[in-house]
Amino acid sequence: MDHYDYIIVGAGAAGCVLANRLSDDPSISVLLVEAGPADRGWRIHMPAALAYPMQNPRLNWGYCTQPQPHLDNRRINWPRGRVLGGSSSINGMVYVRGHPLDFERWEQEGAHGWNWASVLPYFKRSESFAAGADPYRGADGPLQVKRADVDNPLHHAWIEAGRQAGYAVTSDINGYRQEGVGRLDMTIYRGRRWSAARAYLHPALKRRNLTVLTGALALRILFEGRRARGLQISHHGQLRDVRADREILLAGGAINSPQLLQLSGIGDPKRLETIGIQTVIDNRQVGENLQDHLCIYVQHECLTNDSLAAALKPLTKLGIGARWLATQTGPGASNHFETGGFIRTAAGVSHPDLQYHFMPLAIGYEDKKSRIEPSYQVDADALRPESRGSVHIRDADPRSAPIIDANYLSTEGDRRLLREAVRLTREIFGQAAFARFRGREIAPGPNVSSSAEIDAYVRATAESAYHPSCTCRMGSDDESVVDPECRVRGAEGLRVVDASIMPSILSGNLNGPTMMMAERAADLILGRPTLSAEPMPYFVAPDWQTVQR
């Protein structure tokens, strides 16, 4: 059996960070196993082509939920990356840290040491911000982050319309003030997607103490008593056991990490016994507490030629692609999520519970038939859902997709939030800044106005924002899956480091925070002192208890 000090399962946002930071010490041997292939091919690296890797079954696990009772019994697609870089190689490349109050909440939920002041230095260590360092931003890290250039007049109209509607314009959604409308940050560098693989893994591949296996599916963790000693994998169809002399680190994400724990005998004994798996550790919270952001679209016809619709014509697409291949410039070098914002939907909400991504084209991630007519849209994401779902294995076969029940919109609070999202978004689009652009409303459409009609629209059209999390909850209580140092309770030599250990979902996209978590976890794993806390101030509306904006 091959021996390594550390075995990392999953080369996604967290796994790539861990592989880099742990192998930085030449005396430490590291094995990184990834079920998918290497991150090759121009469609992965061209930002504007993001829909292609997301829909490619070779690069995507292709999960979907159980029929959702509150979404007209629809099964909701959940693409997850199955490639070096994981979901950071197929995502929309929007960089958001979350609101500081999210991390203060984590501390209260038992994730001691993960408060705002403690995580900020790790965000900074991870990042190389194109505009340079400041008290909130880093400039020397592996992850290249840039602020959107924003040269389309529709983006400017969005920001001005938000201001006209009474929302602040924020200069940095990842700095002092998240709340408001403004330009978004993106993980794009010199016109190319800057995934976790590009940022962390590729620079480390030349190290002799790092071994990376692609096409390697983790089947189960091998235990001696309660100590994780090894991993059984299928590498290009051949069974193989590998041994971890120090620790096994699961970084498969909110679906694959609880799946592997359950396949290995860590979970609810009643569930495991019914499918013939012997329980090693009784932890009934494995796979529970699932949380995700649900999103809806508000779309308009555009009366000018400023929309991106013309770029969808075959000859134009060919020209854009050729230019990008030659120079990594032009429309192909942007994800086109260049502006957005964060707002509160009601008085009494302390920090934004609705996120916007504006795009100068009416098109969803999953659209099979793109609209060629000039159009624009915003997608609105519900940030802190009350609903909780679950991920459970359906049988003892590691190749079987787990049973995913997101349990979307199971509370009236969640339904109210998306109802308000439609109304508040229509108010922004109704401002004078959009007057010369604004044509008919494509969706929800002029016939959708009452609460019942809006609710029906949401049930029929809402999609995942692709941010599953919290299924291996971190906490200080005995029922949590991992402790604040990411160690699996009841086990030795086993940790989980990915979005699954979030105690509760953050207010924003999860790619950047997952890399931050792996940065801090690397210090915990190696027994190093954590970086000194930086208690920087942050904005909370002084009158949040009584006004919505």
H helices within 302-360, ranges in order?
Answer: 314-327
CA 489 – CA 481 distance, rounded (Å): 6
Q: Which residues contact 443 (CB under 8 A, 6 or more apart)?
A: 297, 298, 299, 362, 377, 457, 461
Task: Give residue 449's Cα distance to chain centre.
Answer: 32
Dihedral, 306, 311, 312, 318 alpha carbons, nearest 10: 170
Catalytically annotated residue among 70, 99, 357, 467: 467
At residue 258's C-alpha, the angle toward residues 252 and 262, to 5°, is 125
Going by the DSSP 8-state scheme, the letter that residue 60 receives in this structure is B
CB-based contacts of 422: which residues, under 8 Å, 6+ apart? Answer: 296, 298, 380, 444, 448, 454, 457, 458
Distances (CA, A) of 382 to 99, 173, 387: 14, 17, 11
Task: Judge whether 271 and 31 are in contact, CB under 8 Å.
Answer: no
Catalytic residue list contains 70: no
- C-alpha span between 254 and 257 (Å, rounded): 6
> Using H for helix, E for strand and C for coil, what is the string for 161-208?
HHHHCCCCECCCCCCCCCCEEEECEECEECCEECCHHHHHHHHHCCCC
Instruction: Using DSSP bridges, classify how beta strands 294-302 and 339-343 pair: parallel, antiparallel or unpaired.
Output: unpaired
In this structure, are residues 286 and 502 in contact, taking their beta carbons and an 8 Å threshold?
Answer: no
Radius of gyration over alpha carbons of the chain, in Å? 23
Supply the DSSP string of 381-402, one letter for each residue: EE-S-S--BEEE-SSS-TTSPP
Q: Is 214 left (phi over 0), alpha (psi -120 to 50) or beta?
A: beta
CB 6 within 8 A of CB 246: yes
Catalytic residues: 467
